[in-house]
Amino acid sequence: MSTLPTFDTAASAIQTQHPAVLNFKGLHPKDLGKFAMHDKRRGGDLSHINTRLSAMNEVLHGGPQWIDTVREKIRAARATNYKEHIAALKAKSRQREAAEVEAAGPRDPWWPCKGGPMREGLLTVNKAWFGGTGQSLWDPERIKAFTRTALTFLRTYFPGDQLCYASAHRDEEAFHIHFIVLVWTVRTTLNRGRQILLQASANPLLARYEYAQDLVGAAFHHLGIRRGAHRAEQRRAARAAGRPAPEPRRHVPPSQYRQAEIARGRAEAQRLVSAAEAKAAGIVDAARRSAAELARDGDEAQRRLAATLAQIGRLKSERAAQDAALLHLRKSADAERGRAAEAKEDADQAVKRYRLANAAAREAQAKAKGIVGSLTLGLRLFAEGMFTFADNETGSNLRLVWTARARDLPQQHRNEARLNPVLPLLKRFADTVSAALEAMVRKERRAIADDAAFLANLRDSLNPDQIARLSRIAAARDMDGPGF
């Protein structure tokens, strides 16, 4: 029933009084069965119902056959109105029209209206007034007081047989009372005779919504429950003053509210999923770009090294040229005294450029010297077997791995700090040297193998004395060193 979302703590820090909630909606007699089915929790939308508490729901007014009674009254009114209509037409000698009405048969005893001629009502107050959300938090004394006042109100303003049925529901978030109202009126005319009609507006409380709110506010005032806000009056005042009028509040059935909340939840979930997918795609794309940038950075580092070495040569040439230009300017100073100021400015500018170039040359030379020194140190340590290289399968993340020979090396950490900046270039040099050494070793081994084969063949053709002499010569040569 509640049109608000569920809160564990329903107490308000602002409201000291809660407004009574009274609303109506049209009901067609053919829908009474659906109403009863939902009222007994045998059908309809039960998603908001705590069915374990449904047995505590209570019928406050109306017997078990109240629907049959309503339908019987409608059938009786339909038949009576039918007879009265025919009789009135015949009394006015309108025989043809009487025959047409008789042929058409009895009609429903109400004028066409939106929703139906009956009224289904709801009477409650904010769940905080009862004590909170759910029957376990409600104050039993307040439930009793509210029920007594509600029944008195309904029986007073829907007298006689207008109040057909009323039931109290305890299996939802807030205690509330559903009721069914059937208002009959009699209208007599010459053309139709005495007609018994269902007409909700015949009851002033149903005819004027503001009047109904005034009455319910007065009825429950002694319980600390007030009338709802005078919104209709506020709208009229705003229109009279030329201000924008607030939109009329519309009662939202619980089923519609829950469907709207589900739709909003699904839309929010879809938004979050889409945002997560977009974020993931962005992360993947950024990772791909980062990998490409790392590869480009490696190539750029090699290009910068080559450019630095080339720049050293250019700076030396520029320095020599600037020295010559400075000498020329000094020799021309005596002959160009008339243009001394301009010449001096040119000389000053040339000096500045010279100093900048000289500083850049020194910086580049120092940087190159540092690189050469680091490479020299690295090649020496590598040749001595102090370290080797380690990297992953893609060749990135290159690092030094110190060997057992370097365990006692005092400057191991400082050497590693010097070698890390030139590690890729050092590895390329080391790979080149290693490849050259391996080629030399392979060549030497092939030469030794050829010599061994030659000696073996030679031994086969010599006599024992010649073989002994050859062995003595080889032994003497081995003592002198390699080179046999």
* pLDDT category of residue 359 using cuts at 50, 70 and 90: confident
253-262 b/e (C-beta count within 10 Å ≥ 16 → b): ebeebeeeee
Give the count of alpha carbons within 13 A of 366, CB side only.
6
| 166 close to 58: Cβ distance less than 8 angstroms | no
Q: Summarize the confidence of residues 249-263 as an average pLDDT.
A: 60
pLDDT tens digits, one per residue of 410-465: 667 777 777 778 778 777 877 887 788 788 888 888 888 887 777 777 777 777 87
Alpha-carbon distance of 239 to 410, in angstroms, equals: 93
More confident residue, 304 or 261: 304
Q: Where are the domains of the chain?
A: 18-246, 299-422, 435-480
pLDDT interval class at 9 (50, 70, 90): very low
Cβ-based neighbour number of residue 7 at 10 Å: 12
Contact yes or no for 132/11 (Cβ under 8 A) = yes
Mean pLDDT of 172-196: 91
Q: What is the tens place of the pLDDT at every residue in 40-81?
A: 877 766 767 676 777 778 889 988 899 999 999 999 999 999
Confidence label for 258 from pLDDT (cuts 50, 70 and 90): low
The CATH code for residues 18-246 is 3.30.930.30
Average pLDDT over residues 150-165: 93
What's the confidence (pLDDT) of residue 164?
A: 94
Q: What percent of the chain has pLDDT over 90?
A: 21
Cβ atoms of residues 298 and 395 within 8 Å? no
Confidence class of residue 214 from pLDDT cuts 50, 70 and 90? confident
At residue 235, the pLDDT reads: 52
- 122 has pLDDT over 70: yes
Tell me the pLDDT of the chain averaged across its residues.
79
